[in-house]
Amino acid sequence: MRTITTTEELAIFCEAAKREPYVTIDTEFLRERTYWSKLCLIQMALPGANGDAVLVDPIDGPDMSMEPLYDLFRHEATVKVFHAARQDLEIFFVEGNCFPIPLFDTQVAAMVCGFGEQVGYETLVRKIAHHPLDKTSRFTDWSRRPLSEAQKVYALADVTHLRVIYESLAAQIAESGRQKWVEEELAVLTDPETYTVRPAEAWMRIKTRTHSGRFLAIVKALAEFREIYAQGNNVPRSRVIKDDALLELASTKPTNLEELGHSRLLLREARRGEIAEGLLAAVKAGVEAKPEDLPKADASKDQVQVNPALADLLRVLLKAKSEELGVAAKLIASAAELDLIAGGQRKVAALAGWRSEAFGEDALRLCRGEIALSAKGNNIKVIRL
């Protein structure tokens, strides 16, 4: 079991990987106490049952450059295989402004192949690699050193079994002709917009039932301050102020430290010092925002008049299509999307791309009264009218 801690060792392995059709990759990181993920370990394996598998340790090798790895990411002749890659890719995008191209995510591929929504790695190891997975090191603090042999074995298993899983799923995808489906899903993972957080837009993620422009202006200012402070100090958003406390301040509009201290939900650290000053300044900015600058909530969903009967028929159609295609229903369309379609909305993800082919086209035909649904035994049949 080899651990890489120098740039030279990493470069040698990555050059070997460039000569292979694919390389499997995983990371271990911590994020509970920070805004940005702390990269603790990288695992990589080359093809074949006895293919070289290594651990790359940026903690024991603090002077090691990741440029050889990023160079491998840019090498398009070698497929970079991950499982549930989103958080891994965010780390590499933030630290190296780089995405692995081409990318293959076995979680995405497994959903397309009928393994269910967001299928776990352990499930794929059991069903495809036919191997039990040791879970004893699952809750390891990967930032602590030295790593035990058990921890190293556990970490390497995340990429060694992935070789068999990748080869199996890639063959199924090719046989089914669903490469385009997978490519559309992976395009989202390699889009910088997926990982770009703009403080001025942070308020849009906060759920509130109030559509008052003035209230939303305060929420916007508070959320922007929280995002800037959390990023700049590398602390979780919740360590600055939680959503419920943020909404409380938007309602009570404190103007000084005494009034701020009356908050029931505010953390102790936020009642004084830099955070308290920032919160008060944000509330003031929201209160004094010009009328033309007040944000507006997206009321389009509230205005949708859902046809309950049509929504139920769309659910039946989705279930039929999901079973016919062997694809998780939630991967094709969510319940909220079905309601939007039943309410006349057409800018819905379920009606675009591969989902349109799999479900959307028939969903629109159903809305227009061009098809009907018929039960035959345990099956639902689509009948053209």
304: phi then psi, degrees, rounded to nearest 5: -70, 125
Q: Which domain holds residue 361?
A: 308-384
Q: Are residues 222 and 181 in the same domain?
A: no
Is 144 a domain residue? Answer: yes
Q: Are residues 171 and 206 in the same domain?
A: no
Work out how many domains the chain is built from and give that number. 3
In three-state secondary structure terms, 146 is coil
Nearest residue to 79 via CA among 194, 186, 3, 156: 186
Q: pLDDT band for position 305 (50/70/90)?
A: confident
> CA-CA distance, 218 to 234, in Å (whole number)?
24
What is the rounded average pLDDT of the residues 26-35? 95
Mean pLDDT of the chain: 94
Specify the higher pLDDT residue, 166 or 136: 166
Q: Are residues 174 and 280 in the same domain?
A: no
Q: pLDDT band for position 135 (50/70/90)?
A: confident
Maximum C-alpha span of the chain:
69
| pTM beyond 0.85, yes or no | yes
pLDDT on residue 378: 80
Alpha-carbon separation of residue 206 from 29, 108, 183, 344 (angstroms): 26, 28, 31, 26
What is the rounded average pLDDT of the residues 5-13? 98
Is 21 a domain residue? Answer: yes
Specify the higher pLDDT residue, 95 or 139: 95
Is 303 a domain residue? Answer: no
Q: Are residues 216 and 120 in the same domain?
A: no
Q: Which residues are CB-neighbours of 121 under 8 A, at least 6 positions away? A: 83, 84, 106, 107, 133, 158, 161, 162
H or E element: which one contains 254?
none
Burial of 81 (0-12, 13-18, 19+ CB in 10 A): buried
Nearest residue to 35 via CA among 311, 263, 238, 199: 238
Is 299 a domain residue? Answer: no
Q: Are residues 46 and 159 in the same domain?
A: yes
pLDDT digits (tens, 9 = 90+) for 73-116: 999 999 999 999 999 999 999 999 999 999 999 999 999 998 88
Tell me: pLDDT of 302 over 60: no
Last residue of a domain, one of 144, 178, 194: 194
Q: pLDDT band for position 210 (50/70/90)?
A: confident
Q: Are residues 203 and 284 in the same domain?
A: yes
The CATH number of the domain holding residue 337 is 1.10.150.80
Q: Are residues 37 and 63 in the same domain?
A: yes
pLDDT digits (tens, 9 = 90+) for 230-268: 999 999 999 999 999 999 999 999 999 999 999 999 999
pLDDT on residue 299: 61
Is 188 a domain residue? Answer: yes
Tell me: pLDDT of 304 over 80: no
pLDDT on residue 186: 95
**Hey, what are 178's tokens?**
């669903």
Tell me: pLDDT of 301 over 80: no
Q: pLDDT band for position 138 (50/70/90)?
A: confident
pLDDT on residue 114: 87
What is the rounded average pLDDT of the residues 280-297? 95
> CA-CA distance, 95 to 22, in Å (whole number)?
23
Q: Are residues 269 and 379 in the same domain?
A: no
Q: Are residues 15 and 154 in the same domain?
A: yes
